Structure 1
Amino acid sequence: MSELVDSYLAQYQDRLETRACLIESGAIQNCYDLLQIHLDAGHWLLVSDANTWAAAGAQSAAMLDAAGQSWERYDIPMPAEGDPVCSDALIAEFEQAFVDAGAAGAIALGSGTINDVVKMGAHRQNRAMAVIATAPSMNGYNSGIAAILSEGVKTTQSCTAPRVVVADLEVLAQAPTRMIASGLGDLLSKPVSNSDWRLSARLKGTPHSVEAMEIIEHGARALDGVAERLTSRDIDAIRGLTESLILSGIAMAVAGSSSPASGGEHLISHYIDMTAYAFDQPHDLHGCQVGVGTLSTALFYEKLQALDPATIDIEERVAALPAWEDYERVLRERFGPLFEPVVKHARPGYPSAAELRGRLTQLVEEWDIILEEVGETLRSQESLQADLRAAQGPRRYAELDVARERARRAIVHSKDIRNRYTILHLAWELGLINQWADEVLSELYE
């Protein structure tokens, strides 16, 4: 059990759909009472793929059989190469299976993709679901959003969070090393994504939650001393990582958005994903990509902190702002077959000349205040690299098998795939994104 997680579940029960999180060794064999309380009675679907069934299928099936629970197995279809991807088509297939089975509830046996497929499918069928985690690889277990490849673009869509999260530490400790490192990479983004969140709140007036920030900070403390013990599969380190992942999901639910846990670094990862699927290019685990993206945006912040605000020529920047119609043509050339779904996100966030002038004026006038605010949560890219190195996580784009020019495009172009203000957007508005991207890649490519 986790007293900290349980305390937040109780404190924010009016805002959270997740009712219980069981984080302990042997959690699978001890979880049926919670499942019975929080899932509807009747026939349940146990949803897995070949990998997650091998990791925890026998234990999960034995737990349900011992309780006399009616259930059947549904396997997420495996592609010819690689792993399944949460897409509109995969969700639709699962929904049909849900209906055909006459199921009252579902249990996702897995991590990112399987959890997202079941979350969204159960949400659309107005059914409760639970998740039995198989790897501490990402922070979306108990979030109320699903990452879905929709029309070729990696989107986040609202859904119902799992009623119960079961995290058996013995199972999680046996996950592949890179999946464990992926979970750490996802969490290491939080100091930088929180800076993006504050930057957006200050310069665009978007909502910001002190409560969610407190939860994120508690999650960060749960990671103290964890990174260097992950490769030895230390159970206490796996516990700290898992608690921090769950707390991140709670923070997103309390904030009502993914902003506490997702900034420019996630846009970089999403760009890599969407170009991988659209153009048959390599990609890596979400958290591994986020980790390298975090090093990139952390370097962007270091460059912002070193900038002299007196060098910002506001009128020059306003004069250089392309008319939307001209920029739309640029987007069409950049994104090709992905243009139509991308432009729907890019257009709402594109500034008018008046908006840009006002934002840059505020930036210059409130320079010290803004840098102090965004700096409160920031960590240096050197300290972030040290944690990734200790966990054997990737720290360079080449380690993600992402070619240098594609990595540059991910940094420079990803701001347009989501209407969320980040350090990437500010760098573009300052006319510095190309220069900073090249400087980042000189450090973070190989």
Structure 2
Amino acid sequence: MTAFIDELLTRYADHLDTRAIVLRQNATAEGVRQMQTHLPRGTWLVAVDANTWEAAGKALAAELDRLGLPWERFDVADAPGQDTPRCDDASIAAYEAALKESGAVAGVAVGSGTINDIVKQACYNNDLFMACVATSPSMNGYTSGIAAVLSEGVKTTVPCRAPRVVVADVDVLAESPYRMICSGLGDLMSKPVSNADWQLSAWLNGTFHSADAMTIIEAGAALLEGVAPKLPRRDRQAVNDLTASLMLSGLAMSVAGSSSPASGGEHLISHFIDMTAIAFDEPHDFHGCQVGVGTLTTAFLYEQLMAMDPADIDVEARVAALKPWEDYAAELQTRFGPLFKAVVKHAEKAYPTPEDLRRRLTTLKEEWSSLREKVGATLRTCHSLEEELLEAKCPVRFAELDVARERAWRAVAHSKDIRNRYTILHLAWELGTLDAWTDRAVDRLYDTQIF
């Protein structure tokens, strides 16, 4: 698979920022050699926290010192009241200030999602290249050209440059906290439904869809065959394959020019949990663990959709029931409270006109067979996805995420408003079925395993 990844980096060089991925045991020395090739000469600002310094930062620093390469350490601060960092406007600004003060010519992130995103976005804002030393196979953002940033209270993705070099030592990854390994698998398990959402949007809205990106996603999915039951043993080959699949997922996003190949309604559910955790001091879990449960939820919603009789869709009744935007915005203000100002601009872009709604639902009703052909091609059942997550001892219920039942309901029914991206959540709302389907989904997925 390493050869396949290298071939992709060459084939899509015009579309990708990443020039080298070093994925193997004892990766540090080769990783630094690649950094020397692909980062400019001068001081590199190495971002760490206490945990990632111990996991991989010390080894990186020793190799940089051995070669006489100049670097400075930047300790990423924990979020206020938390014992972990957060990628938000303040943390990005802090790293930007350190870049300028140190005179650094490039950044190096030592960590996983949060630290990688902070350094990616700050370097992009200052037109600098960066590299990443991965410390956990917890998410697919290592090779993506986007950063997940909490901005004005809303978790959103913003464009940036992917790392020029990604270094992933399999031994380091395999010894990371197991919940983070679960997070990586949960993030990847979303592909059947996120790809269905991508096809749904392309079919009903004419949005861009990339066959090349789908090919990369499918190659990554093939790597996961048989991986789940081996992960609890921290099997090195299984961790290697999981990480390679995550790298491919990020590359697919870069080739597509958006996160659509790997992020749909299931990610909105996770982002909603993150947002409300910060705004209202409520619990949350790792992003990918939340995505895993969100994936089961949206797979269940697709099962409800596929079970519908298209003859029951009353297009004109749904158009007549569409509220004026001003009335819906008033509902959002009540629903989101202090998050309203940050949410409303995204919700307004996604809110349909009567003409848009009529066109979409008419297409859906008249071309129902296309739903099964185009959208259903990548879907898996909720049950089969659940079985695989359970093999890896991953969370499969909202209760396992420490998310209260009422908040889980809101995450499913209300998360469509936080992002302008068409998903099964948006379609279910346009059909007038989202609340009822959410009731069923939460009954199915809140706290009781059925096998």
Q: TM-score, normalised by structure 2?
A: 0.98
The aligned counterpart of 1:386 is 387
Whether contact under 8 Å (2:78, 2:86) holds in the other structure is: no
Which whole-Å CA distance do the structure 1 matches of 2:118 and 2:356 have between them?
A: 39
Which whole-Å CA distance do the structure 2 matches of 1:284 and 1:6 have between them?
A: 33
Which whole-Å CA distance do the structure 2 matches of 1:324 and 1:31 have between them?
A: 52
Deviation at 1:126, TM superposition (A): 1.0
Deviation at 1:345, TM superposition (A): 0.4
Which residue identity does 1:275 align to in structure 2? T
RMSD: 0.8
Provide, for residues 161-218 of structure 1, a one-character-per-residue CA deviation record: whole Å limited to 9, x for no partner: 1000001001001011110010000000011100000000000111000010000000
The aligned counterpart of 2:174 is 173
Whether contact under 8 Å (1:178, 1:392) holds in the other structure is: no
The aligned counterpart of 1:71 is 71
Provide, for residues 34-53 of structure 1, a one-character-per-residue CA deviation record: whole Å limited to 9, x for no partner: 00010010011111001111
Provide, for residues 269-325 of structure 1, a one-character-per-residue CA deviation record: whole Å limited to 9, x for no partner: 000001111111111100000000000000001111111111111111111111111
Which whole-Å CA distance do the structure 1 matches of 2:328 and 2:75 have between them?
A: 44
Whether contact under 8 Å (1:32, 1:67) holds in the other structure is: no
Which whole-Å CA distance do the structure 1 matches of 2:379 and 2:53 have between them?
A: 39
**Secondary structure of residue in 2 paired with 1:303:** helix
Which whole-Å CA distance do the structure 2 matches of 1:382 and 1:4 have between them?
A: 32
Whether contact under 8 Å (2:12, 2:255) holds in the other structure is: yes
The aligned counterpart of 1:39 is 39
Which whole-Å CA distance do the structure 1 matches of 2:291 and 2:229 have between them?
A: 19
List gaps (5 residues or longer) in structure 1: none
The aligned counterpart of 2:2 is 2
**Secondary structure of residue in 1 paired with 2:141:** coil
Which whole-Å CA distance do the structure 2 matches of 1:238 and 1:346 have between them?
A: 38
Equivalent runs, 1:143-154 vs 2, <5 Å: 143-154=144-155
Equivalent runs, 1:68-217 vs 2, <5 Å: 68-79=68-79, 80-217=81-218
Which whole-Å CA distance do the structure 2 matches of 1:302 and 1:427 have between them?
A: 12
Deviation at 1:29, TM superposition (A): 2.6
The aligned counterpart of 1:249 is 250
Deviation at 1:82, TM superposition (A): 3.4
Provide, for residues 204-259 of structure 1, a one-character-per-residue CA deviation record: whole Å limited to 9, x for no partner: 11100001000000000011111110110111101110010000010001101000
Deviation at 1:360, TM superposition (A): 0.4
Whether contact under 8 Å (2:120, 2:160) holds in the other structure is: yes
**Secondary structure of residue in 2 paired with 1:157:** strand
Which whole-Å CA distance do the structure 1 matches of 2:161 and 2:329 have between them?
A: 35
Which whole-Å CA distance do the structure 2 matches of 1:28 and 1:442 have between them?
A: 47
Whether contact under 8 Å (2:31, 2:165) holds in the other structure is: no
The aligned counterpart of 2:398 is 397
The aligned counterpart of 1:287 is 288
The aligned counterpart of 2:315 is 314
The aligned counterpart of 1:17 is 17
Whether contact under 8 Å (2:202, 2:208) holds in the other structure is: yes
Provide, for residues 313-352 of structure 1, a one-character-per-residue CA deviation record: whole Å limited to 9, x for no partner: 1111111111111101001110111111111101111111
List gaps (5 residues or longer) in structure 2: none
Which whole-Å CA distance do the structure 1 matches of 2:17 and 2:58 have between them?
A: 28
Whether contact under 8 Å (1:29, 1:59) holds in the other structure is: no
Which whole-Å CA distance do the structure 2 matches of 1:338 and 1:32 have between them?
A: 42
Whether contact under 8 Å (2:31, 2:166) holds in the other structure is: no
Q: May I ask how many residue pairs the two structures share in their alignment?
A: 446
**Secondary structure of residue in 1 paired with 2:23:** strand
Moved over 6 A (4+): none
Equivalent runs, 1:212-291 vs 2, <5 Å: 212-291=213-292
Which whole-Å CA distance do the structure 1 matches of 2:157 and 2:58 have between them?
A: 32
